[in-house]
């Protein structure tokens, strides 16, 4: 059954003269007419138009909806283009918003990493001081802070965002440098700090004691393995950190450089204690391995030699079950000069230092290679004294002064004391000056001067060994370690395992022969044959000037010497000081200082160029640079003799080149120990 359409549709269809051929069923469906279902005229219901005016009907017919026109292809294309642009703009907006959000997040993350690395660096810097002071709680607190900071930084940099940024050009290198640095620090946190914490719990420097000449180090042996493992991990980390490229962004570079510095200090400290833990028990016979007797040589820095100074006084130190027994010291002049080398001669050292190196006790440390000098001295002592030596220890007045600063002053007999008291009290501020300068002004004979030097060495060490009780043991150990870094204490052992532990440390005093660890050596030897080195100021500086494509680096090394003696005072100096009449083969006038300078190129590297300048660069010093260039222990060596009149200066400027294998590392300088604080 169909329904009628509304009146308006009927009127519109009627006015158009068209009959509607659709019908709506009761269920709402619309049916269209077909040829079999034609509506007959009699079936059409005509609208009732009664009551409608002609005008109204006209309005209705005129208001009928016009037929819709088809859009052109161009118009459709325009619409599609607009829609496409809107979609593109929307996508761009989303991308920009995402990038902005990602950038904001990464900026926040970078700030968190910077703070975390700073926290880790502060923790790392606190550990060495705590270890030196024996404060186990402070050491553990520093380790906790280091670990926490590293964990925070690692959590940030190990995420997807940092990995993605690391793949980008330009900034990717900086991001990778940060991630590598944090990763290296994380390895230390996981694989070294637990062991270091256990060691700190077992051993403390405050537990070291020296009572009545007997040393005790409880817990040291038990800590050896943990210290070994921690030292290995931290040492590798220091090397790896040194190889991480410096970032371009200054703030990041500064933060990472600071972290490197703190880790380097930590690595050095832990390495020292690991070595002590492995050699001290046997070398001090704390493990009942047998008594040891060491040759002790007190050097006189007033007559400079490559290892420090003239080997003036010789004595022995016997250690039995940790108990020290020190013999009297004798002058080197009491030992005979030999007719033939005491050890097999090496051609390069004979050419460089002469045969006296192996025949004359006075000259055993012409070589800067301390193990070689020690072996020669041992052989000479054993040949003359028929006493078996377990090792050789070289000390100097600067070490004595550092130890007396902790142990307290010692009073020695000195008939020529300026105040007429017949005694002199040496302490932490005047020992070096007294032994290297003041004592020479009393016009003693060489024999009397040697006796004073030997007495000071004997009495000072005896005083230190009996004054080192409990409370100041950590301070004494720190004084020893500081003096060792400065080159004032050197030790050599005849036992291979112990010497291997000492190898590659400041206390070993070796020439650096590893191409991957670049080092330039600057060593001085007195040519005046007096005691004028007290007046010789020295500074040694270096700066990197070039990096070659091969990875080799060039450094400018400047060695500046100055004769500080007042010309007006020269006439009052004893001949024993000025060297008047004592110089063998040198034409040196009173007041002048003749010094032979040895510059060793880095292993696997070379000396590139050299010049000498300054008021004292002419005359007997010559202005052409090195007098000789040769080799020693496989290292290239330049030799220059410089003679300075009072007030003169000279600067030997040398360009050295490292091995290609040293790429990415920083060159260090080893030099003859300094004796004045203002030197560098």
The answer to which of 6-10, 48-52, 669-673 has the lowest mean pLDDT is: 6-10
By C-alpha distance, which of 266, 326, 259, 219 is closest to 114?
A: 259
The SS3 assignment for 561 reads strand
CA-atom Rg of the chain in angstroms: 44
How many Cβ atoms from other residues are within 10 Å of residue 667's Cβ? 21
pLDDT digit string, tens, across residues 146-163: 999 999 988 888 877 777
Residues 6+ apart with CB under 8 A from 176: 166
- The position carrying tokens 């590392």 is 665
Same CATH fold assignment for domains 292-498 and 513-671: no
- The position carrying tokens 């000449």 is 213
Helices (H), 134-218: 136-157, 160-166, 171-191, 193-202
**Per-residue confidence (pLDDT) for residue 626, from 0 to 100:** 93
Gap between the Cα atoms of 655 and 626, Å rounded = 12
CB contact at 8 A, 395 and 299: yes
**Per-residue confidence (pLDDT) for residue 461, from 0 to 100:** 86
Q: Which long-range contacts (CB under 8 A, 24 or more apart) does 251-255 make?
A: 251/114, 252/114, 252/174, 252/177, 252/178, 255/114, 255/117, 255/118, 255/121
**Per-residue confidence (pLDDT) for residue 421, from 0 to 100:** 80
Q: Which long-range contacts (CB under 8 A, 24 or more apart) does 159-167 make?
A: 159/109, 161/102, 161/105, 161/106, 161/109, 162/106, 162/109, 165/106
**Per-residue confidence (pLDDT) for residue 23, from 0 to 100:** 43
The answer to which of 89-93, 525-529, 530-534 has the lowest mean pLDDT is: 89-93
Residues 6+ apart with CB under 8 A from 363: 353, 354, 356, 357
pLDDT digit string, tens, across residues 262-303: 888 899 889 989 999 999 999 999 999 999 999 999 999 999
- The position carrying tokens 């040291």 is 220
Helices (H), 431-533: 431-436, 446-467, 473-485, 496-502
Q: Would the pLDDT of 102 be above 70?
A: no
Gap between the Cα atoms of 639 and 642, Å rounded = 10
**Domain boundaries 513-671, corresponding CATH code:** 2.60.40
Q: Would the pLDDT of 544 be above 70?
A: yes
Six-digit token string for 523: 């060593």
**Domain boundaries 292-498, corresponding CATH code:** 3.40.630
By C-alpha distance, which of 266, 270, 265 is closest to 230?
A: 270
Bridge partners for 305 per DSSP:
308
CA angle 131, 135, 138 (to 5 degrees): 90
| pLDDT band per the 50, 70, 90 thresholds, residue 86 | low
- The position carrying tokens 């032979």 is 596
By C-alpha distance, which of 97, 100, 189 is closest to 150?
A: 189
pLDDT digit string, tens, across residues 182-219: 899 999 999 999 999 999 888 888 888 887 788 889 99
**Per-residue confidence (pLDDT) for residue 241, from 0 to 100:** 87
| pLDDT band per the 50, 70, 90 thresholds, residue 79 | low
CB contact at 8 A, 116 and 156: yes
Domain extent listing, the chain: 7-62, 113-283, 292-498, 513-671
| pLDDT band per the 50, 70, 90 thresholds, residue 88 | low
Q: Compare 402 and 468 and report the one with higher pLDDT.
A: 402
Give the H or E element holding residue 400: helix 397-407
Gap between the Cα atoms of 594 and 362, Å rounded = 18
- The position carrying tokens 């088809």 is 70
CB contact at 8 A, 233 and 184: no
Gap between the Cα atoms of 194 and 65, Å rounded = 89
Sign of the CA dihedral running 309, 311, 312, 313: positive
pLDDT digit string, tens, across residues 598-624: 999 999 999 999 999 988 766 555 567
**Per-residue confidence (pLDDT) for residue 278, from 0 to 100:** 94
**Per-residue confidence (pLDDT) for residue 28, from 0 to 100:** 44
**If you average pLDDT over residues 59-86, what whole number do you get?**
62
**If you average pLDDT over residues 371-381, what whole number do you get?**
98
Gap between the Cα atoms of 201 and 137, Å rounded = 9
Six-digit token string for 497: 């395992």
CB contact at 8 A, 522 and 559: yes
**Per-residue confidence (pLDDT) for residue 45, from 0 to 100:** 55
Phi-psi domain of 326 (left: phi exceeds 0; alpha: psi -120 through 50; beta: other): beta
| pLDDT band per the 50, 70, 90 thresholds, residue 305 | very high
By C-alpha distance, which of 537, 512, 536, 525 is closest to 656?
A: 512
């Amino acid at each position: 059954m169909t329904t009628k359409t509304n009146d308006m549709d009927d009127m519109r269809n009627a006015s158009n003269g068209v009959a509607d051929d659709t019908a709506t069923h009761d269920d709402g469906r619309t049916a269209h007419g077909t040829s079999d279902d034609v509506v007959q005229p009699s079936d059409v219901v005509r609208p009732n138009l009664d009551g409608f005016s002609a005008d109204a009907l006209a309005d209705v017919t005129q208001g009928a909806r016009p037929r819709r026109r088809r859009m052109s292809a161009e118009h459709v294309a325009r619409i599609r283009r607009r829609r496409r642009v809107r979609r593109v703009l929307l996508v761009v907006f989303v991308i920009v918003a995402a990038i902005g959000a990602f950038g904001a997040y990464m900026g926040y993350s970078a700030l968190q990493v910077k703070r975390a690395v700073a926290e880790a660096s502060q923790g790392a810097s606190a550990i060495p001081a705590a270890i030196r002071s024996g404060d186990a709680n402070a050491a553990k607190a520093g380790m906790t802070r280091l670990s926490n900071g590293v964990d925070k930084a690692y959590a940030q940099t190990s995420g997807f965002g940092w990995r993605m940024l690391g793949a980008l050009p330009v900034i990717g290198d900086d991001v990778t440098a940060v991630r590598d640095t944090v990763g290296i620090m994380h390895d230390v946190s996981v694989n070294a700090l637990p062991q270091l914490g256990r060691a700190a719990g077992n051993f403390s420097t405050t537990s070291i004691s020296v009572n009545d000449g007997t040393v005790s180090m409880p817990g040291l042996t038990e800590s050896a393995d943990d210290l070994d493992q921690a030292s290995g991990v931290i040492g590798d980390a220091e090397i790896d950190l040194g190889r991480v490229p410096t970032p371009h962004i200054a703030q990041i570079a500064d933060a990472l450089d600071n972290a490197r510095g703190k880790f380097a200090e930590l690595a050095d400290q832990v390495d020292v204690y690991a070595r002590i833990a492995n050699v001290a028990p046997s070398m001090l016979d704390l493990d009942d391995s047998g008594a040891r007797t060491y040759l002790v040589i007190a050097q006189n820095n007033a007559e400079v030699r490559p290892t420090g100074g003239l080997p003036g006084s010789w004595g022995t130190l016997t250690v039995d079950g940790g108990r020290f027994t020190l013999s009297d010291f004798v002058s080197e002049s009491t030992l005979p000069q030999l007719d033939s080398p005491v050890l097999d001669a090496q051609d390069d050292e004979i050419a460089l230092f002469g045969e006296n190196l192996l025949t004359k006790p006075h000259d055993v440390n012409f070589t800067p290679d301390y193990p070689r000098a020690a072996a020669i001295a041992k052989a000479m002592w054993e040949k003359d004294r028929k006493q078996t030596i377990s090792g050789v220890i070289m000390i100097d007045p600067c070490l004595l002064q550092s130890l007396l600063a902790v142990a307290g002053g010692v009073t020695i007999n000195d008939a020529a004391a300026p105040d007429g008291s017949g005694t002199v009290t040496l302490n932490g501020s005047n020992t070096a000056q007294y032994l290297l300068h003041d004592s020479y002004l009393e016009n003693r004979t060489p024999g009397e001067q040697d006796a004073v030097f030997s007495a000071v060495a004997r009495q000072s060490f005896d005083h230190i060994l009996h004054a080192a009780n409990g409370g100041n043991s950590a301070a004494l150990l720190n004084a020893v370690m500081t003096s060792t870094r400065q080159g004032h204490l050197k030790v050599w052992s005849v036992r291979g395992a112990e010497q291997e532990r000492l190898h590659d440390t400041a206390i070993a005093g070796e020439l650096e022969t590893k191409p991957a660890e670049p080092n330039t050596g600057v060593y001085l030897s007195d040519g005046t044959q007096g005691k004028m080195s007290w007046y010789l100021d020295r500074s040694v500086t270096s700066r990197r000037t070039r990096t070659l494509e091969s990875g080799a680096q060039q450094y400018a090394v400047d060695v500046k010497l100055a004769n500080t003696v007042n010309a007006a005072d020269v006439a009052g100096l004893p001949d024993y000081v000025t060297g008047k009449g004592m110089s063998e083969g040198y034409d040196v006038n009173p007041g002048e200082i003749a010094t032979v300078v040895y510059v060793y190129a880095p292993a696997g590297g070379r000396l590139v160029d050299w010049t000498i300048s300054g008021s004292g660069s002419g005359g007997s010093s010559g202005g052409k640079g090195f007098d000789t260039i040769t080799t020693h222990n496989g290292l290239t060596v330049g030799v220059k003799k410089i003679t300075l009149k009072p007030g003169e200066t000279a600067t030997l400027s040398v360009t050295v080149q490292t091995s290609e294998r040293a790429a990415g590392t920083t060159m260090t300088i080893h030099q003859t120990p300094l004796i004045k604080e203002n030197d560098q």
